[in-house]
Amino acid sequence: MTEKKCSLDEKEKCQVCNPIDYEILEKAKETQSRSCLAAAGATMLIGFYCDPEKQDCDSLADDFIEGISSLEKIAEDLNVNPEILELFKNEGIEVDKTFKELLKEEGLTKEEVLKQLDEIYKKKIETALENEKEEEEINDK
């Protein structure tokens, strides 16, 4: 499926907006941790669909991290089109298990996985900043 990005205004009009950041997803897959992959999915889902003026986005994130909600439950709470969960499943993200269940199955701690995810996002931000700086230097010439 072709990736479709939607602006904030388009989100409500768009039937299936694709929240998947494939760069983050690939880095999460490299960790070979199903927990990290699910956590990446949660950050994408909440970051893309949660409207802080209408929902408590931090609470949704906490519910995922504390093992209260699976990605299916978060998607339901955010009224996400079910096709999005299918996209996540196709990428290997386990949407029906809680973070706590995945951690237990893998023998990992929440802190280990969140540190991995934090590193992935830090690298993405650093790369974006480097690219922006290079573009500015090119434009200044």
pLDDT in tens, the chain (141 residues): 334 444 444 444 444 556 678 888 899 999 999 999 999 999 999 999 999 999 999 999 999 999 999 999 999 999 988 888 998 999 999 999 999 999 999 999 999 999 999 999 999 889 888 888 888 888 886
Residues 109 and 135: their CA atoms lie apart, in Å, by 40
Classify residue 97: in a domain, yes or no. yes
Beta bridge partners of 70: 98
pLDDT in tens, 64-89: 999 999 999 999 999 988 888 998 99
Classify residue 2: in a domain, yes or no. no
Residues 91 and 115: their CA atoms lie apart, in Å, by 22
Residues 6+ apart with CB under 8 A from 30: none
- If one counts the domains in the chain, the total is 1
Domain that holds residue 12: 8-140
Length of the chain: 141
Read out DSSP for 105-120? HHT--HHHHHHHHHHH
Classify residue 70: in a domain, yes or no. yes
Classify residue 132: in a domain, yes or no. yes
